[in-house]
Amino acid sequence: MGEPTVTPLEGREQAVPHPVTARTRQRRLGSMRTPRRPRLWFEVLLIAVSYWTYSLVRNAVPEQRGAALRNADWIWRAEQTLGFAWEESVNRAVNSVTWLIVGMNYYYATLHFVVTLTVLVWLYRSHPGRYAAARLVLFATTAVALAGYYLYPLAPPRLMPGGDFIDTVAAHQTWGSMASGDLKHMSNQYAAMPSMHIGWSVWCGLTVFALARLPWVRVLGLLYPMGTLVVIVATANHFWLDAVGGVLCLAFGFTVAYLWYGSLPYALPRSVPARRADRTGLRTGSRT
């Protein structure tokens, strides 16, 4: 009998692909959920594209004027039944003080964006380990708000028939609102529920209160959403129940972030932990 032939691979350990186990998948998922240092160019691009998409989708929602007015009438009657229909009284009282209502008009048109972007920049610079989770809260809040605009068109009080509410931007010819003048044709007038002025301002207020060190800055964080609530009612851009809708959307955003990161953003480490590869490289370099 001839000697058995031995193939070149026999006697050597053959390379077998490592199976993707449940533990491996969990490790990969955990890596995705670990906060990483944000990259400036990516964050600027992400925020710009996200806001452009938000505006595009919000304004593309059919206005559905009839349904929006019926819903506004229902909201107004519900508030009257509950005894909380304060919007008209606040609107007319503040409108009688010209300097105050003009200031509120500019507040409504500008601070919504300025303060939110300022808090995002502050998080990026001072709390990189918490930035991604806090940003996820804001993005998830805004995403679910878009569903609200589509499913529940709502006219703001200033557009309700009867003339009981005063459109303060039109009355005082102030600049900046997408709701009046020539700019109103560029914006969906019937996307009042939920109020993202409230959703975003409460996000800003909670973030500042939770993370700021100076007591007076923390107090300002709490006062900002309160002031925003007065402004949206005084300018007749929202019912106070729209504010409740904004808070519910924010609660959804926090839930998404908690499920993804396993913690509220403010409980995460302030700094981003060094990656394993970086730590290995540092140890290797220290031996040379």
What does the mean pLDDT of the chain come to?
A: 81
Residues 121, 51: contact at Cβ < 8 Å?
no
The residue-averaged pLDDT of 268-286 equals 57
Neighbours of 136 (CB within 10 A): 18
CA 24/CA 104 separation, integer angstroms: 54
| Position 13 pLDDT exceeds 50 | no
Render pLDDT for 106-135 as a digit per residue (tens, 0 to 9). 999 999 999 999 999 999 999 999 999 999
Terminal-to-terminal C-alpha distance of the chain? 58
Neighbours of 67 (CB within 10 A): 15
| Position 180 pLDDT exceeds 90 | no
**Structural tokens at position 235:** 């300018």
* Residue 191 confidence (pLDDT): 85
pLDDT category of residue 276 using cuts at 50, 70 and 90: very low
Q: What angle do CA 36, 39, 44 make, to 5 degrees?
A: 130
Phi-psi region of 237 (alpha: psi -120 to 50; beta: other; left: phi over 0): alpha
* Residue 15 confidence (pLDDT): 46
Render pLDDT for 31-89 as a digit per residue (tens, 0 to 9). 456 666 666 666 777 777 777 776 666 666 666 888 899 999 999 999 999 998 999 99
* Residue 272 confidence (pLDDT): 73
How large a percentage of the chain has pLDDT more than 90? 56
How does DSSP classify residue 97?
S
| Position 29 pLDDT exceeds 60 | no
Distance of CA 39 to the CA centre of its chain: 19
Least confident of 56-60, 153-157, 171-175, 182-186: 182-186
Indicate the SS3 state at residue 5: coil
Omega prior to 156 cis, within 30 of 0: no
The residue-averaged pLDDT of 26-33 equals 50
CA 236/CA 251 separation, integer angstroms: 25
Indicate the SS3 state at residue 274: coil
Among residues 197, 106, 192, the alpha carbon closest in space to that of 157 is found at 192
278 or 246: which leads in pLDDT = 246
> Which amino acid, one-letter code, is at 30?
G
Indicate the SS3 state at residue 221: helix
Name, in order, each residue with C-beta under 8 angstroms of 281's C-beta and a sequence gap of 6 or more.
none
pTM attached to this predicted model? 0.78
How large a percentage of the chain has pLDDT more than 70? 71
CA contacts within 13 A on the Cβ side of 121: 7
